[in-house]
Every structure is written in structure tokens, then in C-alpha cells.
Chain A
Amino acid sequence: MSRNRRDFLNACAGTLALGAGACLAPGVWAQTPGRAASSNYRRLLILVELKGANDGLNTFIPYADEAYHALRPTIGIKRDQVLQLSERFGLHPSLEPLMPLWSQGELAAVTGVGYPNPNLSHFRSIEIWDTASNSSDYLADGWLARAFAAVAPPRSFVADGIAVGGGDLGPLANGRRALSIQSTDAFLRQARLADANDANGRAKNEALQHILRLESEVQSAALNLDPKVTLASAFPNHAFGQQAKTAMQVIAASPGVAAVRISLGSFDTHQGQAGTQQALLRQLGEGIDAIKRACVELGRWGDTAIVTYCEFGRRARENQSAGTDHGTANTHFVIGGAVKGGLYGEHPSLTDLTGDGNLRFATDYRSIYHTILSQWWGFSAAQSAAVLGGRYATLPLFG
């Protein structure tokens, strides 16, 4: 490495430590984010993707509805096994760890969530959810990436958003300060190998620019993670528990981050649904419980919101393989110390199905996004509408 580049690197490291982005690859800060005095990125969003599409009817169960048991003679959850939330609805027995949250009024279930003209392809539909697009529109950037471009989180944060698990960036895709982390230890140990610089400006090709941008992000983040901070809280040993652990370690060791995405799956239960869903929902419940305990340890439970999402719900009627095919409307959870627990939205009728045998949605998924932007982070109605490409109803989820 030439002397010039080494000097440049050192200069970069210095300015990055001060929170300035002057040395980053050209174009990184070309888009000047708007300022919003009201934004509150002290509040943390933890998104949980239920990969492969979780079956909502067996998660948030309309157990009192005879039609439910008629549609699900084999895989339906028996009345006496349901964890009752109300006279009509209850949770899958594997979600036992969520029951204390429910009784403390910290768990909200938003039901009948979907969008018009639903697409039943996994890949297209999760793209719709990740980019907050209409069924017929194709957008490139994740909805959180657009939100952070419109109202920028503080520069002192380790990143705007972090995807844990090393997979796709989902709602953070194409974000300027989006980080993907698999384990904090490995990240910090390897970060010293990322040696971003392009003093001669030779990086004209897009793939190379992509690499240089990642290396800049890594350097910046590594400077902002304190390797000495550890959590006392324990996490379950399964894959989702370990993702939750990594997420909470980053949150504990960094000066801040606005959003973290974790995931578990695959919920694509075309056959033999019972065992698969049971195991995954158990992981989900245990993981969320562990996140709460870690948040309490950090004094952050009051400003943390955990939100589940996935590409679609599953078909109302079970198939012949004791499973369920791709469907439409679904139920999702919003959980946190500042969440007003309860039931939101309107549960779809199980007798008035669409021609395809699917549930009719009543709440647009972008209502949840809008509520996060406006009620959680303090975006103005206009700012939220610009990010989401339209105005959506506010859900009174936060107290």
C-alpha cells in the first residue's frame, strides 16, 4: 500500500471517529437528509421477519369460531390448548413466553393485515413488504432506508439500521448506513481487515463501489462498538436466540442504532405444519422474552418496539398434506414497554373468503409502518406520506 493511501486511511479513520463522513466514497452523502427536530431515534425498532410466511390463523387463533375448526380439521389448534387472550382469540400454545407480556399490557396483535391485489409469490410479496410498495409497483430501496434518507438518525449512531444474521438487508436495502452483522466478536476481529480507500478514484465500476462503501461502513462501525460491554442476560441456544443475542449485544455496545432486523424460519409449511410451526413459534416466544429481559437490563424496554412481519398469511383451509398453501391477510405482533397492549384491526371472516379461498384484509400493512414512523419516531404526516408513497391510517399502538 502506498504512503498516500495509508495517510488517507488514517485521515478517514480520524474524521469518521468524529462522526464526519467527508472521506467516504463519492455519492455516499450526496443526498442531504432532511432535519426533523421532532424525530426520536432514541426509540428503538426491532423488526422480526417470520421467513417463509407464518400461518397467522394458527398463531393468533379465532378459536371460538366454528368455521376455524371446520377449515382446519387436522392442523387446527384444539380449543383447550389455545392460550386465551379474549373470548374469541388466543395464542398458539408455543407462545407461552408471550403471555406475561399480554397480561402486562405490552403485547398488541394487529389482525387482518394485508394489501390490495396480493401477490402470492414469496419473493415478490416480501419485496412489496420490504419496500412498502403497491402490488403493481417495483421499488428498489427498503422502506426503512427511505425513512432514514428522509429523516437521518444521528451520525453518532453505529449505523442507521442493522440486519443480524448475514442475510439480505430487507427493509434496509440500499440504505446508506445499513450494516449486516453475524456476530459482534467476529465483526470486530475482522473489521481491521477492511481497508477501504480509493485515493486515485479508480473505482468506476458499481461492484467495486459497493465493496468500498461496505468497507467504509465497517470501519466506521468498528470504531463505534465497544468490545468491553457485555450483557448479563442469558439467551436461548437456538438460532433465533443467538440472533437476538447478537442484536442486543450491538445495542448494548454501541452509541445507538435506530432499527435492527432479526429473523427466523422457514415457516413455509406446505406439509406437516404442526411440528415445524410449533418449534419455530417456541423459538420466537423464547427469543422475544430474552430480548425483553436484556432491554430491561439496559433500561431500554420503555423505548423498544418489537414488530413481526412476513410476506403473507396462509390459506384458510388446510391442504391434504396437513399443511397450508400461500395466502393473504395475517396477524402481526407489536411488543414493547411503551406499547398499548390489546387487539387491533378487524379479523377477517372465515366464511366470506375470496374466490381463491383466501382471507380478506382490512388493515393495510403500511398502517403499521406509518404508525412506527409517526407515533414512534415522530415523523410528520407529510414526511411519513413521502416515505410510504401515500397516507395510511394511524393505529393507536403507543401510549
Chain B
Amino acid sequence: MLHRRAPLSFPATVGWLLVCLIALALAATIASAQTPAPAQKVQASPMPAVGMGFEEARHLLSRTSFGARPEDIETFARLSRVDAVDRLLAETRTRAQYPAPPWAAIYERPFRPGMTPEQRKEANRRELVERGLELRTWWVAEMLSTPTPLTEKMTLFWHNHFVSSQQKVRTAQLMYAQNALLRQYALGNFGALLRAVSKDPAMLIYLDGAQNRKGAPNENFAREVMELFTLGEGHYTEADIKEVARAFTGWSIDPDRGEFRFRRALHDDGEKVIFGQRGRFNGDDVITLLLRQPATAEFVVGKLWREFISAQPDPAGVRQLAAVWRSSNYEIKPLLRAMLLSDAFWSPTNRASLVKSPVELVIGSLRQFGFSVEDPAPFAIALRQLGQDLFAPPNVKGWPGGESWLNTSTLLARKGFLNRLFRADEMQSAMSAGNSAPTGNADTTAQPATTVIDRAMLGDGRARRQAQLALRGGTGKLPPFGVSNQLRGQYFFSADQWFAQLPRDMDDARIASALFAGPPLQVSPPLPHTLAGLRSAALDPMYELK
């Protein structure tokens, strides 16, 4: 038996070895990626039998999560594209897992008629400053700890689509409730999400729907639901806006319960003409009409394309995906699956082509390097300084995103943040000031988290008050964050530990490949295995891209 088998197994072994050698050679080419042209050719051909490989896994995770950890990339590298995408979509959730601030559970009317100016001012301060900071801190904590970053990415996407800002809504609990709503439907059904958002109390306040009455329509929501939430500009007339506003009259809120309320007496149930169709339409009818317009799917798909694929959507590709979406009755998961498995998503020309949002940069850095964060509040303030103040987009169109994340001001703010995050040179003073320093390792950063805030950029009074709250360690009503250190209000990172815990087979080229979406410009591997090495990597322009 042995004698007979040997001749058969010998060539098989040689063949297997050859396969291994070729695979290793290919992997090395992909990982180093110093010469883009040949590497791209290799990347374009999937190798399902051995998984998609490190580079493709890094690309997929950089677009669908917050800064993937090297070990996560290795795990996904062993999966095929289809298996990886299906796994990401299967893991998503509909609820946040981090405990909400205690006031979030029950609505209490913060502003009542008859309040004295002092009471009103105090209520305003509590809602906007104290609870505003707790709300932002809570979402940052959720993003830092979630097992499914894609869920938070999509929640943030819808926050930037169905925009409401606490600046106008003011009541923190209603902003929290809207966030929960966006998460509930984040990967569910778009039509259901649109219907729910149209009755969401924060939205009814933000776009003045609650003020929209028979005989005196307020056009704000009617205009934006078409321009920004569904059709996009150019697919409706000013006359449509006036008629749609009439259809939504009476959609109001109960100020004592903080809930949607239909006020029949204020509803205009007369005949309307919308998109050339005549009928006694109400708000729900309008949403049905909007979902029937082909422009709606194309508009939203174009926006998702810019989020996940490239800055310049391909019109034919958008139309194709929009058709897929409409045929699945606006279910979001099948659409995302088709997008993430499209040739355009994997095209080498679209890699490293998108600018990281401030959330991706901040949360991504903290997750990727496994920072221990006791109090996330200063990171919520840092996001504001980088131009992405959660729960307060600049206007109803949201953050424009893409290259506009970066101008000379925000680029410098990002570099300042990253520099402070990986700052070792001030560690000594920070450690001597605190009474419980971690290990006395020279390549460790352990600082009050508030050092990530740029004090020079704290302009208005509200920002300053929030920073002061953060300096005190928040308002003390959120459960403590982080478990691996006892440093109150501090964040902690050890470069030595980070390098030591990397998978054994990770060479310098692969570490660089984990940190950068494309070849870095200013750091040249091998990267020094020190805090200073990581800091120089984070300051490389390529670190800004995904």
C-alpha cells in the first residue's frame, strides 16, 4: 500500500507546493503594492479558493467598518467576497448595545409655556449642553464598542440623509429617539424608514411640519422631502411643493408626550394635484407617490455610491442598482449586497479614492489601534472640531462629505488631532500628574482624554461649556466606558503592546497595508515599531483616505 501510494502522492505534493508558492508570491505582490500597475492586475482576479486575500479584505472593511484591526482583516481575507459581504450583512443589528443615558428612556417636556426666562434658559442649557454632550458621547461609545460597525455606518448615513439637528430640535430625548429609529431601519426597508421619519417628532420640529396647518401651509418639510430625501432637485415643481405641503397638514406632535399626533381639524383634506395626479392625498399618499417615482431610487443609490464606492457615481451603474432596489421593494440589504459585490466596488481605480469622514478617522483610529478610552466625551468634541458634530449637521442637506471634508482648516485640525492622539513626548508630565500610571513603558501614551481637544478652536460659548463638562469627566450620568484601565477620564495606548499582539506572520509590508488604503507618500516601510512610527504613519496623507 505504502509502496503504491508514494508515486501518486509525490507529484500531488509537488503540485500543492507549487500552488502554495504561487499564492505566496501573489500575496507578497499584493501586500507590498509598491508598484501599482502589476499589483492591480493581480487584485482584479479573485481567488475564491483561497479567500479574497488581505488587500481585498482591507478594502472591504475600510469601506464598511471603522478602521479594521489587522486580525479582522486576516479573518476576512480567508473568506470569498460573497461570504464576506453576506457575513457583514448578517451581523447587523437594529438596536444599540451601549446603555443609553438615563434620561433617554422617557420623554419629559423640557420647555413649557409659562416658564420664566431663567427656567427656559436653564432648560436650554440642560438640553443642549449637558444632555447634548451625553448624547454625542453615547453615540461615540456605541461606535467604539459595537460588534457591527456597518450598523453604525448606515445609521450615520441615514442621519446625514434624513437630517435633523439638535440646534433646532433642542430636546435631547427626541434626538435620541430619532437615532434609535434610524438604527432600527438602517438596513431594513427604505419605504418604511421614510414613512417613520415623516412622523418622527424631531423631524416634525426640525422641518416645521408641526407648524403646517390647513389654510396656512408651511412648505419646509414638503420641499426637503422631495429635494433631499427622495427625488432630488429637478424632479418636481414649485406647485408640487405647495400641494405636498397641503397633504401633510395636520401631521403634528403631542407636546406633552413627545409623540406624533394627527390633528384632523388642521388637515386640509381637499383635492390636490401632485406630479400631475389629482386626488384628496394625505401625507401617506404622498410618500407612496414619491416611492413610485424612479428618481427616488436613483437619487438615494447615487448617495450610497458616493459613500461606499467612489466620488463619481457611474450613471449606468446607478440605474442598474436602482432597478435592483425597486424590484426588492426598497429593501436595503439586497441593495448593499449588490453594491458591495459590484465590479465598481472592487475596481482598483476606486481603491483609496474616498476621503475618510471625521467619524471614520477618529473612531477608526481608536478601534484600529485598540485604544483604551475611559471617557469618550472629548472625542465627541473632537469630531465637532473636525467638522462632523454628531446630531448637528450644518443644515438640512447634511455634511456634503467627500473632498469637502478637507480644507486647509479641517486638514490641519485632523493632523493636530492625530498628533495629539499619538503624542508620547508629553507623556511624562501627564503620568507624573496622575497618581496611577500604567506600566512605565516609554512607548506608551496615557493622557487625559481632553488633551485630544484643540482648546484654540473652542469658539462659541456652548462649545466651551461642553469642553468644560468633558474636562470634569462628563456629567457623570453615563456608565463608565472601557474596562482595561482604571485611569479616570484618560485614554491609554501602548505601541509596544500593539505591535506585539499582531499576528505572527505580519511583516512590515503587511502592517503598512493594514494602515493605508494605498502606498503611503511620506513614510517608507519598514515602519519603526514605536509610537513615533505610528504617529508618522497617521500624519501621512494616505492615512486620510479609504
- Whether A271 contacts B407 by the Cβ 8 Å rule is no
Q: Is B233 a contact partner of A121 (Cβ separation < 8 A)?
A: yes
Q: Which residues of A contact B541 (CB under 8 A)?
A: 196, 203, 208, 211-212, 215
Q: Which of A101-109, A180-188, A383-391 faces chain B?
A: A180-188
Known: A208-B352, A319-B216. A52 touches B518 (CB 8 A): no
What's the Cα separation between A198 and B412 when bound, in Å? 18
A79 interface hit (Cβ, 8 Å): no
Which residues from B are CB-within-8-Å of A237? Answer: 461
Q: Which residue of A has the minimal Cβ distance to B351?
A: A205
> Which of B233, B413, B419, B544 lies in contact with A186, CB distance below 8 A?
B413
Q: Is the CB of A206 within 8 A of B403?
A: yes
Compute how far the CA of A317 lies from the CA of B208 in the bound complex, rounded to whole angstroms.
17
Q: Does A78 contact B (CB under 8 A)?
A: no
Residue in A166, A215, A266 whose beta carbon sits within 8 Å of that of B409 in the complex: A166
Are A326 and B219 in contact, CB atoms less than 8 angstroms apart? yes
Residue of A nearest to B411 (CB): A214
B223 with A326: CB separation less than 8 A: yes
Within 8 A of B (CB), among A351-397: 356
Contact of A167 among B353, B394, B456 (CB under 8 A): B394
Q: Check A69 for interface membership: any CB of B closer than 8 A.
A: no
User: Chain A residues with Cβ under 8 A from B387's Cβ?
Assistant: 166-167
A191/B233 in contact, CB under 8 A? no
Q: Report how far A118 CA is from B375 CA in the complex, Å.
A: 49
By a CB distance below 8 angstroms, the chain B residues around A321 are 208, 211, 216, 218
Nearest-Cβ distance from residue A214 to partner chain B, whole angstroms: 5
Asked whether B460 is an interface residue with its Cβ less than 8 Å from the other chain, the reply is yes
Q: B167 to chain A: which residues have CB within 8 Å?
A: 266
Identity of the chain A residue whose Cβ is nearest the Cβ of B540 in the assembled complex:
A195
A30 at the interface (CB under 8 A from B): no
Complex Cα distance, B544 from A211, in Å, reads 8
Q: Are the C-beta atoms of B545 and A214 separated by less than 8 Å?
A: no
B347 at the interface (CB under 8 A from A): no
B523 at the interface (CB under 8 A from A): yes
A319 & B404 in contact (Cβ 8 Å cutoff): no
Per-position binary interface string of chain A over residues 215-242, scored 1 when its CB falls under 8 Å from any chain B CB and 0 otherwise: 1011001000000000000000111001
Query: In the bound complex, what is the Cα–Cα distance between A111 and B196 (angstroms)?
Result: 43
Assess whether A221 is in contact with B408, with CB atoms less than 8 Å apart.
yes
Contact A206 B311 (CB under 8 A): yes
In contact, B354 and A207 (Cβ under 8 angstroms): yes
Judge if A2 is at the interface, Cβ distance under 8 Å. yes
Give CA–CA (A215, B414) in the complex, Å: 12
> Of residues 349 to 406 in B, which have CB atoms within 8 Å of A's CB atoms?
352-355, 387, 394-397, 400, 402-404, 406
Return the chain B residue nearest A2 by Cβ: B524
Q: Mark A163-180, 1 if CB is under 8 A from B, else 0.
A: 100111100000000011
Q: Write the chain A residue with the least CB distance to B458.
A: A183
Q: How far is the CA of A187 from the CA of B457 in the complex (A)?
A: 10
**What are the residues of chain A within 8 A of B1 when measuring CB–CB?**
none
Q: Contacts A1-B524, A1-B536, A321-B211: A205 and B518 contacting too (C-beta < 8 A)? A: yes
- Give bound CA distance, A270 to B355, whole Å: 34
Q: Which residues of chain B come closer than 8 Å to A166, judged between CB atoms? A: 387, 407, 409-410, 413
B415 CB within 8 Å of chain A: yes
Taking CB atoms and an 8 Å cut-off, the chain A residues in 260-310 that contact chain B are 266, 268, 270-271
B220 at interface, CB cutoff 8 A: yes
Interface residues on B, range: 35 or more
A290–B253 CA distance with the chains assembled, in angstroms: 43
Please give the distance in Å from A282's CB to the nearest CB on chain B: 15
Residue in A181, A197, A356 whose CB lies within 8 Å of B521: A197
Q: Is the CB of B223 within 8 A of A121?
A: yes
Please, how many angstroms separate the alpha-carbon atoms of A123 and B223 in the complex? 12
Chain A contacts for B495, CB-based, 8 A: none
Q: Which residues of B contact A239 (CB under 8 A)?
A: 459-460
Which residues in B have their C-beta under 8 angstroms from that of A200? 521
| Residue B70 CB within 8 A of the other chain | no
A residues within 8 A CB of B519? 202
Asked if A18 is an interface residue, CB under 8 A from chain B, the answer is no
Report A254 CB to chain B, min CB distance, Å. Answer: 14
Contacts of B412 in A (CB 8 A): 186-187, 190-191, 193-194, 218
Chain A nearest CB: distance from B315 CB in Å? Answer: 16
Complex Cα spacing A211 to B150, Å: 27
Cβ of B227 within 8 Å of any chain A Cβ, yes or no, is yes
Give the docked Cα–Cα distance between A91 and B537 (Å): 55
Nearest CB of B to A179, in Å: 5
Residues of A1-50 at the interface with B, using a CB-CB cut-off of 8 Å, are: 1-2, 5
Of the residues B220, B411, B459, B461, contact of A270 by C-beta under 8 Å? B220
Q: Chain B residue with minimal CB distance to A221?
A: B408
Assess whether B395 is in contact with A266, with CB atoms less than 8 Å apart: yes
Chain A residues with Cβ below 8 Å from B227 are 121, 123
Task: Give A173's nearest chain B residue, CB to CB.
Answer: B404
Do A207 and B545 have beta carbons less than 8 Å apart?
Answer: yes
Interface check B416, CB cutoff 8 A:
yes
With A190-B415, A210-B406, A320-B211 as contacts: A183 and B457 at CB distance below 8 Å? yes
| Cα A207 to Cα B403 with chains together (Å) | 6
- Cβ–Cβ contact A190 & B416, under 8 A: yes
Given contacts A52-B395, A121-B223, A205-B518, contact A180 B408 (CB under 8 A): yes
Most buried by A among B220, B353, B397, B408: B408
Q: Shortest beta-carbon distance, B119 to chain A, in Å? A: 16
- Once A237-B461, A270-B218 are accepted as A-B contacts, the answer to whether A218 and B408 lie under 8 Å apart by CB is yes
* 17 A–B contacts from the bound complex (CB under 8 Å): A121-B223, A181-B409, A182-B413, A186-B457, A189-B416, A191-B412, A193-B539, A198-B521, A200-B521, A202-B519, A203-B541, A207-B544, A211-B411, A239-B459, A266-B395, A270-B220, A321-B218
Q: Which 4 A-B pairs have the closest CB atoms?
A: A320-B216, A180-B407, A321-B211, A190-B412
> Can you name 17 extra interface pairs (CB under 8 A) apart from A183-B459, A211-B411, A321-B216?
A123-B397, A166-B407, A167-B387, A180-B410, A182-B457, A186-B412, A190-B413, A193-B415, A194-B412, A196-B541, A202-B36, A205-B353, A207-B544, A208-B518, A211-B355, A321-B218, A323-B211
Which A residues are within 8 Å of any B CB, using their own CB? 1-2, 5, 51-52, 120-124, 163, 166-169, 179-183, 185-187, 189-191, 193-198, 200, 202-203, 205-208, 210-212, 214-215, 217-218, 221, 237-239, 242, 266, 268, 270-271, 319-321, 323, 325-326, 356
